Amino acid sequence: FCSFQVPGGHVYRGTFVHSTQQAPLQILEDALLGVDTEGKIAFIGKGAELDRLSKTFGFSPPDITQLEQHEFFMPGMVDTHIHASQYSYAGTALDMPLLQWLNTYTFPVESRFKDLGFAHRVYTQVVKRTLRNGTTTACYFATIHTDASLLLGQIANDFGQRALVGKVCMDRNNSVKHYKETNQESQEETCRFIAELLGKKYPLVKPVVTPRFAPSCTGVLLGQLGEIAKNNNLHIQSHISENAEEVKLVNELFPESESYTDVYHKYNLLTDKTVMAHGCYLSDEELALFRETGASLSHCPNSNISLCSGVLDVRNVLKHKVKLGLGTDVAGGYSASMLDAVRRALDSSKVLTIQDPEHETLSFEEVFRLATLGGSQALSLDDQTGNFEVGKDFDALRVNVAAPGGPIDLIQCDGLKCATQHLLYVYLSSLAGDDRNIVEVFVAGRKVVPFTE
């Protein structure tokens, strides 16, 4: 660890909250955390260990940034499924079920992204908005347009967001015929996208192989994408079992497969670097296949409800020991905030409990883990981010629950020191905490919010 006299190293003192594999919520009161010049966590200790730590790591008390009352650090949130291109109409067009919604709204809008000026405007807005909302890592769908998809990667890099970016692949679209590729185009352009994005050597932005979903891809294309991902050791993302009509369509298009999951498995698209969005209608046998292959799911509760698609039984997914994170799924989900995903995940779990009182409702601590460490595990990035462990990148939100002009009134805390767990609960789930409570956002130790422009 470099001396803190070297520019770039930082020490923070205050309350840190995060998840571990053993505990969905761990609160570290009066803790000291050091970040080295490469943005990695160099040490975590107790405030009482100040003398020893300062001698070991070469800093002095004036170098320490002290958090204020009602402030804490939490890990940056991980959005495991978001369509960057659809941000242009987020909050509208939620009056149809999935397949009709895609044909009426989504495909026509996405076809506009061949215009790089339009793409630049939308992609800049979505990256800045998600960062302001505390999303330090995002797994993005772009569109079928290679150059616009590369532009999204550049913008994420320029603003300092950790991102997986996918050029969408689809060689089947009978409803909006101008918005699809030939099989050869999709394969060649995917290879170009991967080569050019990797050639940029962005430190935090990587490509992800992105078949839109089985109904929009032929088996030949799915097989080619599976080979591309395998040969380049790349992440894979797609959709699965979002809507009952979609599941039926997949069964008709791929009658030789035993299930929706089997379609992807057959074409080598289920790996330990795969994340599939939704999964509302997966059978226990399909979940077992997810567990066996190491593939993960992205739970997108806002979208599932907004498009009347279904409700994922998260408890059952966890019971099967399948990796699971949360996603906003803009624009099927109307909010680009992971805080909204946290709240909708809690609501969806309570709906299942209303339907079945024996159902074990998710706790807010469990959903907090899904939004942070769970998301990093779902994206196979948990060796780099997701919680506060020595050696990981410092991806963090500095949260002030009582921020001046913010949306929260801490009535129970007037004149009192509020318990950290109460502050976290108020911020995440029970009141309208939002980006106004986020004082600073760090990705790999670099302050990316407030923006410097």
Boundaries of every domain in the chain = 10-75+387-449, 77-378
- For residue range 421-431, what is the model confidence (pLDDT) as tens digits? 888 888 886 55
**pLDDT (0 to 100) of residue 407:** 87
DSSP letter (8 states) at residue 40 = B
3-state helix, strand, coil in the chain (%, to 5): 40, 20, 35
Using alpha carbons, select from 333, 332, 301 the residue that is nearest to residue 317.
301
According to the model, what pLDDT value does residue 8 have? 59
Q: Residue 430: its pLDDT value, please?
A: 58
**pLDDT for the residue 432:** 58
pLDDT recorded at residue 301 = 98
Domain 10-75+387-449 shares a fold with domain 77-378: no
Q: What is the pLDDT of residue 147?
A: 98
pTM, full prediction: 0.97
Distance CA 288, CA 420 (A): 38
Angle made by CA atoms 325, 249, 265, in degrees to the nearest 5: 50
Task: Note the Cα 23 to chain centre separation in Å.
Answer: 21
Please give the Cα distance from 427 to 439 (Å, whole number): 13
What is the helix (H) or strand (E) element at residue 236, kind and residue range?
strand 235-240
CA distances from 83 to 61, 324, 358, 434 (A): 45, 18, 35, 21
Please name the CATH architecture into which domain 10-75+387-449 falls: Roll (2.30)
Superfamily of chain region 77-378: Metal-dependent hydrolases (3.20.20.140)
Mean pLDDT of successive 10-residue stretches along the chain, which has 453 residues: 55 97 96 96 97 92 93 97 97 92 96 98 98 98 98 98 98 93 98 98 98 98 98 98 98 98 98 98 98 98 97 98 98 96 96 98 96 98 98 97 87 67 80 84 97 73
Q: Give me the helices (H) in 64-200, please.
A: 98-101, 107-110, 116-132, 146-159, 183-199
Percent of the chain whose predicted confidence (pLDDT) is above 90: 87
Q: Which of 282, 227, 290 is nearest to 260 (CA)?
A: 282
